[in-house]
Structure 1
């Protein structure tokens, strides 16, 4: 089974909080959904379980939820 491709998501300001990034990347529908995903331990950052909504992400960090993956990218 192959892993899902990583979607680059440009972020204007670094660092960005995980809850915000989940919404921006389309991995969560809204803030409450982001919180539910984190509480259910369904979110990984760089391959490690993350449960803190306020965890700070920087360019290059990869967030995975279910079969979807998104990487924090800088605006060019």
Structure 2
């Protein structure tokens, strides 16, 4: 009977030790998730900025040049 209670106590202490390890692993995983979330947000913001720059460049390059309203003098 004493061995039965001794095994039960030792199993409970092992579970308590394992739960501490799993808490640490969970904290590391949540930190890693935050890192990748912030990385995703930063890359998304840069892609939006580059997309706007490309759109402005295409818009400027595809529009015909405006005619000047000067005197019409051409210099050689």
TM-score relative to the length of structure 2? 0.16
Q: Which has the higher strand share?
A: 1
Higher relative contact order (CA closer than 8 Å, sequence separation 6+): 1
